[in-house]
Amino acid sequence: MICGGGLAAHITVAMLSRQLPATIGITFVQLGDTSGTDLFYGSVAGPTAYAFNRSAGLEEPKLVLESDTAFSWGTKYDHWASGSRSWIQCFQLPLPIIDGVMFHHYVVQQGVAQLEPFLAAAAAARKGAFVHPPQKPGAGQEPLSRSEYGYQFDAMSYGGLFDACTDRGRVRIVNATTLEIERDESGIAAILLASGERIAGDLFVDCTGPDALVVSRVGSSFAARRKLGAAISHSPSAQLGAPMRTVSPTSFGWRSETPLRGRRARLTVYHPDSTADALQEHPDGAERTCEITLGRRSDAWCGNCVAIGQAAYVVEPLSTAPLLLLERDVERLMSLIPSSTDMSIERREYNRQSAEDHEHAELFTRAILETDHFPDTPYWQAVRAEPTNEKFARKIELFQDRGLLVSYDLEPFNPEDWTILHFGMGRGPARHDRMADRAPRDRVQGFLARMKRDVEKAVASLPSHATYMAELSRYLTQNRL
């Protein structure tokens, strides 16, 4: 029994209907309007999306042909840290380890403050160019083969894609406006609709967004943090923009620009006290606005009810964290579909992983916000007032001090994400790994110069995102079976 609507519900229903055996019946009670809160899933999916979508039955060609989704190398944080620093938080496979020493130590040793010249995805993003990274690189393509890509999306149309690929014969879909819950000793026995219909189930999945209409009624409480507002507007664009989202800090919070196909999305995220300032960024008026409270529920899985996505926690869409966490929720649920009505093992393990994922993703978001160079306005004051923990301090301190990446078990963001972020934020380490000094300086210099040149060369000949997308669409249309 899945309750809810919007992105989380459509993804969950698609995955369950695709992967569960026919012996398990699936009912989807479509309920509530999540078009506002879905803004908080952001507009960028990371490189995990490709495989995730496939396992839910959504193939990339469909995504290209049937939505305004575009490709993405990542996010540019524009004039972000230390006043004027900008960097591109691109998706990257592990950087080379040379003589047992991680790449970035050589960069520091040479006194280079930026990682970006060595990242092909960042260079391509800056140029507005895209191709699929080659699996087996041809001549001159090596730098790109270490790049990864994700998608730029509009939450509503992205959710629609999953909805469209759900097998209607497999899922019973019921529309509802309100619901009541019939409880029993294991949690929920059934859901009662306004129509009088009673829908019983063994496992209930709550995809109703931050209101958590189901799980909140079986005892899961919400630990609230900052309050945020979000507003979105779109402007038409004749030509597809760069495969990159741009995020800029403002006095009210931050603003992002995401090129989609045929339009650009502008999202503002702000402190509720600064709503008026934020709305000025949408000259033709905001299409949708929403206020929300960041935080996490005590238990994502309570009794026989599992909360997915925002029903379990609300995170800020400053990084790819919201969608990444949603994907991980759905995958975790799939691997822990209970085998009996006693779900205590599944529940404990699900909640343990969910809490860790949330905590670790929040470390990443916090690391983007952790600097003294932002204005003294309500949004930034609220950010600064939030406490950090020891795990966070260790990550920052050891990188800043010696370029060491402190990692915890199975974090959502990988070491490359962290390395790029630290460099972007100007946390270039004070000292480098001493073992890097064994290599002759001129050879290291030569190596880095060559790598930078290779990146420039590889990117120089790439087609623009718009051209590539147009040709890919034409190819897929012609070759569609």
Partner 1 sequence: MPPAEIETVCIVGGGTAGWMTAAGLSQKLQGLPVSIRLIESEEIGTVGVGEATLPHIRSFNNTLNINEPEFMRETEATFKLGIEFCDWGRIGDRYIHPFGDFGPIVNEVPFYHHWLRMKAQGDASRLDEYSFPIMAAERNRFRRPSDDLSKVESTFGYAYQFDASLYAKFLRRYSEGKGVTRTEGKIVGTNLNSETGFVDSVQLDTGAVVSADLFIDCSGFRGLLIEQALQTGYDDWSNWLPCNRAIAVPTESRGRLGPFTRATARKSGWQWRIPLQQRVGNGYVYCSDFISDDDAERELLDNLDAPKIADPKPLRFTTGRRRMLWNKNVVAIGLSGGFLEPLESTSIHLIQDGITELIHLFPDKAFRQSDIDEYNRRMALHFERVRDFLLLHYVATQRDDSEMWRYFRSMTLPESLQEKISAWTTRGYIIKYEFGLFLPPSWIAVMLGQNLVPGGYDRRVDAVSDNDLVSNASAIRANVSAAVRETPDHADFIRQIGAAATLQSVAVDAR
181 lies in the binding site for partner 1 (CB under 8 A): no
356 lies in the binding site for partner 1 (CB under 8 A): no
Q: Is 42 exposed, middle or buried (0-12, 13-18, 19+ CB in 10 A)?
A: buried
∠ CA 55-58-60, nearest 5°, is 110
Q: Identify which range of 127-135, 248-256, 292-300, 400-408 contacts partner 1 by CB under 8 A.
A: 400-408
d(CA 265, CA 38): 14
Q: Which is nearer to partner 1, 100 or 285 (CB)?
A: 100
Residue from 98, 181, 189, 336 binding partner 1 (CB under 8 A): 336
Minimum CB separation of residue 111 from partner 1 in Å reads 14
Residues 6+ apart with CB under 8 A from 128: 241, 242, 243, 244, 464, 465, 466
477 lies in the binding site for partner 1 (CB under 8 A): no
409 lies in the binding site for partner 1 (CB under 8 A): yes
d(CA 144, CA 91): 11
CA distances from 281 to 44, 87, 234, 244, 253 (A): 21, 23, 11, 20, 12
∠ CA 421-427-432, nearest 5°, is 110
Q: Which is nearer to partner 1, 24 or 224 (CB)?
A: 24
Show the site string, 85-124: x = touches partner 1 by CB under 8 A, - = not: ---------------x------------------------
CB-based contact 326:309 (threshold 8 Å):
yes
Residue from 93, 223, 435, 460 binding partner 1 (CB under 8 A): 435
Minimum CB separation of residue 279 from partner 1 in Å reads 44
Query: How many positions of this chain bind partner 1 (CB under 8 A)?
Result: 37
CB-based contact 73:243 (threshold 8 Å):
yes
3-state secondary structure of 270: strand
Residue from 181, 404, 470, 476 binding partner 1 (CB under 8 A): 404
Residue from 195, 239, 335, 461 binding partner 1 (CB under 8 A): 335
Q: What does the block give as tokens for 189?
A: 């026995």
Minimum CB separation of residue 443 from partner 1 in Å reads 12
Helix (H) or strand (E) holding 266: strand 263-270
Residue from 160, 394, 464, 473 binding partner 1 (CB under 8 A): 394
Q: Are strands 245-249 and 74-77 parallel, antiparallel or unpaired?
A: parallel
84 lies in the binding site for partner 1 (CB under 8 A): no
Binding to partner 1 in span 15-34, by CB under 8 A: 19-24
135 lies in the binding site for partner 1 (CB under 8 A): no
Minimum CB separation of residue 23 from partner 1 in Å reads 6
3-state secondary structure of 58: coil
55 lies in the binding site for partner 1 (CB under 8 A): yes
Residues 6+ apart with CB under 8 A from 61: 476, 480
d(CA 145, CA 42): 27
| Interface residues toward partner 1, by CB under 8 A | 19-24, 55, 100, 334-340, 345-346, 348-349, 394, 397-398, 401-402, 404, 406-410, 430-431, 433-435, 437-438
